[in-house]
Amino acid sequence: AQTVTQSQPEMSVQEAETVTLSCTYDTSESDYYLFWYKQPPSRQMILVIRQEAYKQQNATENRFSVNFQKAAKSFSLKISDSQLGDAAMYFCAYRPIGGATNKLIFGTGTLLAVQP
């Protein structure tokens, strides 16, 4: 069974600094997607960044980038120039490619605090 592990329940960063959130996963599949979602107090899950496993290049979206290590099954999120609005729960998620469903498997989340 596929699993996603986030070992950091809470993290804190100073405004304008850089923080890295960790995620590891377990799967026997060779093709899949990995995601980072942000969940603010409004509860709505917002997609931050997505990585296709077959792509060697790490995905980037403005201040957000990932370090994808396929062999190590590691998928960390780096937030540069942290802003107060980045404070939220962050969830790492896995989704297989193919098969009969499109369901996401989430980790337990990391609560990020941004200090002014």
Judged by CB, which is closer to another protein: 69, or 103? 103
Applying CB under 8 A, does 11 fall inside the site for another protein? no
Size of the site for another protein (CB under 8 A): 21
Among 50, 63, 73, 78, binds another protein (CB under 8 A): 50
As a whole number of angstroms, the distance between CA 47 and CA 92 comes to: 10
104 near another protein (CB under 8 A): yes
Q: How far apart are CA 92 and CA 11, in angstroms?
A: 15
| Buried-exposed string 42-57: b where 16+ CB fall within 10 A, e elsewhere | eeebeebbebebeeee
What residue ranges bind another protein (CB under 8 A)? 4, 42-47, 50, 91, 93, 97, 100-109
